[in-house]
Structure 1
Amino acid sequence: MTRSLAALDDLLAAADADAYCIEAGSDDSNQLYLSGFDAPDPFFTAYTGEQLAILVSGLEYGRATKESNADAVARLSTYNYAERAAEDGQAAALAGVYADFLADLGVESALVPERFPVGVADGLRDRGLAVDVDGDDVVETVRATKTEAELDAVRRATAANEAAMAAAEDLIAAADVADDGTLVIEEDGETTSLTSERVKEEIEVTLLRHGCALDETIVACGADAADPHDRGSGPLRAGESVIIDIFPREKASKYHSDMTRTFAKGGASDAIGEWFALTEEALEAALDAVEPGATGAEVHAAVCDVYEDADHPTLRSDPDTETGFIHSTGHGVGLDVHERPGLNPRGEELEPGHVITVEPGLYDPEVGGVRIEDIVIVTEDGYENLTADSPVELVVQ
């Protein structure tokens, strides 16, 4: 499986455009993917179908010539950027430089992503270029189908994620229960409260040792766990569900993983136990529906069927519900932790090489929350579950 920009070529041909252009830093995943260049400050990329060219500062020129995907690399100084900026201001200077750069490539019309800077687009139009918007985000569609090298990067990130999840579970398992029901641990000869923050620290340290990092993670207990995106804070308590959702990024490749497990120290309420068993059933139903040609909508419907049959509300059965199954079933994972394809009522067709999460869950502030999330690769005949060896067990003794 090799990277193909055929869909981008087709888009340019259909739109009768000369180039696809992006102006952004590498924190924009489409820029990173298309250019292959990791730089924090915005730079300009133009793909014509015939070649890929990038325009960078002098600071980045050397690295860009060695590391990027570009067939041609140009510097801002080639177009007298500093002099133009001193005379006309930065915005006008950049627009003029970009216009001249595109003229050298023979580009008179360009397609740009929806988030392309308005000021830059207007500046190019003022200089005679036709600039139209790609409303379908074709580069993200291209990114959704991973090459073998990309899949290996996700596998490595997932292995790190599994190690971090195991470290978090071990920390909970090692904890004792204080008289007030909170969890405590012995560290450096002292008894301290086991908090969401302490578990997050363990997760982050483990990920760093495996070449990954993350900006934040979820360790949410009790009522906090009833909000799917509550990061969690404060002491963890015995008998309550603790949702741990880890979504790291491998430092070298920039590719993500994503995984969730739910734990309860010492035991759980009957309601949480029932929810956990039902969510396992929903997970299996969703995985059974994953295959090339199926749609994300069909996978999502499989989860809704399980929950609705058990008389739990979903957003399908009640769009205004605030309890029950209150999110989509999953999403694509790659350079972004949330990308195409979606496993939701509008979810598109799944294809070999797609990487998706499958993450059913149930939530109610009066009870807590339960979520189980695996990450899988869609294959030619089904799927490969990258988290298949990570235990799905609620009770931690």
Structure 2
Amino acid sequence: MKVGNARRNMDPDFSELDAALDDRDLDGYLIDADSTEADQYYLSGFDAPDPFLTLYDGEVHLLFSRSLEYGRANKEARADTVERYVDFGYQSKVEEYGPREAVSRVIAAFLDSYDVESIAAPPRFPLSTADRLRDRGVTVESDDESVITELRATKTDEEIEHIETAQRANEAAMAAAEELLRESRTAAKGQLLYDGERLTSERIKEEIEVTLLGHGCALDETIVACGSDAADPHDRGSGPLRAGEPIIVDIFPQHKASKYHADMTRTFVVGEPDETVAEWYELTARAHAAALDAIEPGATGAEVHDAVCDVYEEAGQPTLRSDESTETGFIHSTGHGVGLDVHELPRVAPNGGVLEPGHVVTVEPGLYDPEVGGVRIEDFVVVTEDGYENLTEYPKELVV
């Protein structure tokens, strides 16, 4: 097993963005979005609920439609300048041209103030903004390579610390979920009871969410799926939980202060698992270990994925590699990047690219069949200069 400890220690490096702009002979990069768009938050370093513009021309410049965020942006944003529509004569332009035309003229004036006549923009850049800028003589080209998304794949020490903070909260939530399962008792027909009431997927999710809130995290959804529900990797799960059946708990919270995510899955059985579930769990643990053993800088996500498929296929289990139409067995990729988005680059999957120091990726093999249920084990690691470091500390035990 190749485990490394060296981490990267640097601020976000925009040199690749500079090179991409130079290669295309463009003056700048423009994003028009709120901070829930991860590329916007990464480039601007600013959290705002309403859309604003970030221009990168070797420096970072912000433009807000109103003054509401102006003071906070000056203190908090990763920006060399912070400006508002009013700074470019917005009201007089409204009176002369109307509100829609005024906005396009303000943005064009903003770009002109930095001698920017041509820009790259993300693939999901607002069409109306692009059209109006083109009408004002600005060249707007789509960044189909998603350069900033690619940049985000390599994490700094600070980003890794944010992810670890989210993961410690995640582990507290997983422990709370496991405790409810441990303290439950088995009633008629295998139904689980907690404090005299049916223990349901919804009750476990509530405990997870409350625990995460207490640790500064939130999540919109989580997975607590039992039995046949667990045979669908993205079934959120619902209804009563039962003894003897696999229960997949997959939690992927976002830390509210840093905006970074964590992601972890454990599979539990209350009581005695049947023989197939126990075999699947042992096999998945071996596939998980094989994937970890394949992770090192220079390896590809495809090679890590192949290591998992090798284990499963040698045991006679179908995979999408061996049968692209299979609906049972290993029916998803091995993993994905984690950061400002819970699913981001790099891919640990067929055609996954080269892993580099600073990449943070999940490792989550699993087996699925409606006749049995599902089993999945998920950790995530940071690729280091000489291997990887597992950022997940929570134990792996099938039987509760």
TM (normalized to structure 2)?
A: 0.96
Q: 1:90 to 1:330 in 2, by over 3 A?
A: farther
Alignment deviations for residues 288-340 of structure 1 (CA, whole Å, 9 cap, x no partner): 00111111011011111111111111111111111111111000000000000
Aligned mate of 1:261, from 242, 247, 266: 266
Aligned mate of 1:359, from 360, 364, 386: 364
**Other-structure match for 1:126:** 135
Q: 1:185 to 1:20 in 2, by over 3 A?
A: same
Q: 1:87 to 1:314 in 2, by over 3 A?
A: farther
> Does residue 103 of structure 2 align to residue 99 of structure 1?
no
> Does residue 321 of structure 2 align to residue 319 of structure 1?
no
Counterpart amino acid of 2:37? D
> Does residue 29 of structure 2 align to residue 10 of structure 1?
no
Counterpart amino acid of 1:127? R
Counterpart amino acid of 2:131? D
CA distance in 1, matches of 2:74, 2:395: 45
Counterpart amino acid of 2:103? L
CA distance in 2, matches of 1:98, 1:223: 53
**Other-structure match for 1:350:** 355
CA distance in 2, matches of 1:37, 1:291: 33
> Is the Cα contact below 8 Å between 1:333 and 1:339 reproduced in 2?
yes
Alignment of 1:120-269 (within 5 A): 120-186=129-195, 191-269=196-274
CA distance in 2, matches of 1:315, 1:350: 22
How far has the Cα of 1:267 moved from its partner? 1.5
Q: 1:76 to 1:235 in 2, by over 3 A?
A: same
Counterpart amino acid of 2:152? R
**Other-structure match for 1:19:** 28
CA distance in 2, matches of 1:395, 1:86: 70
CA distance in 2, matches of 1:317, 1:89: 61
Measured on the aligned residues, the alpha-carbon RMSD in Å equals: 1.1
How far has the Cα of 1:86 moved from its partner? 6.2
Alignment deviations for residues 120-175 of structure 1 (CA, whole Å, 9 cap, x no partner): 11111111011111111110111111111111001111111111111111110000
Q: 1:129 to 1:165 in 2, by over 3 A?
A: same
Alignment of 1:26-65 (within 5 A): 26-49=35-58, 51-56=59-64, 57-65=66-74
Aligned-partner SS, 2:323 = coil
CA distance in 1, matches of 2:291, 2:140: 42
Alignment deviations for residues 349-376 of structure 1 (CA, whole Å, 9 cap, x no partner): 1111111100000111111000000011
**Other-structure match for 1:391:** 395
Aligned-partner SS, 2:69 = helix
Q: 1:12 to 1:324 in 2, by over 3 A?
A: same
% identical aligned pairs: 62
Question: Structure 2: which 5+ runs fail to align?
Answer: 1-8
CA distance in 1, matches of 2:368, 2:289: 19
Counterpart amino acid of 1:38? D
Counterpart amino acid of 2:171? E
> Is the Cα contact below 8 Å between 1:289 and 1:299 reproduced in 2?
yes
CA distance in 1, matches of 2:88, 2:287: 58
**Other-structure match for 2:373:** 368
| Higher relative contact order structure (alpha carbons within 8 Å, sequence separation ≥ 6) | 2
How far has the Cα of 1:251 moved from its partner? 1.0
Alignment of 1:300-311 (within 5 A): 300-311=305-316
> Does residue 337 of structure 2 align to residue 337 of structure 1?
no
Counterpart amino acid of 2:396? V
TM (normalized to structure 1)?
A: 0.96
CA distance in 2, matches of 1:371, 1:273: 12
Counterpart amino acid of 2:50? D
Aligned-partner SS, 2:265 = strand
Counterpart amino acid of 1:54? L
- Range with greater deviation from structure 2 (94-103 or 8-17): 94-103
> Is the Cα contact below 8 Å between 1:220 and 1:230 reproduced in 2?
yes
Aligned-partner SS, 1:366 = coil
> Is the Cα contact below 8 Å between 1:282 and 1:360 reproduced in 2?
yes
Alignment of 1:377-388 (within 5 A): 377-387=382-392
How far has the Cα of 1:228 moved from its partner? 0.5
Query: How many aligned positions are there?
Result: 390
Alignment deviations for residues 363-390 of structure 1 (CA, whole Å, 9 cap, x no partner): 1111100000001111111111111x31
**Other-structure match for 2:4:** none
CA distance in 2, matches of 1:192, 1:204: 20
> Is the Cα contact below 8 Å between 1:91 and 1:120 reproduced in 2?
no
Aligned mate of 1:294, from 269, 287, 299: 299
- Range with greater deviation from structure 2 (286-295 or 86-95): 86-95
CA distance in 1, matches of 2:98, 2:181: 57
How far has the Cα of 1:94 moved from its partner? 2.2
CA distance in 1, matches of 2:221, 2:60: 35
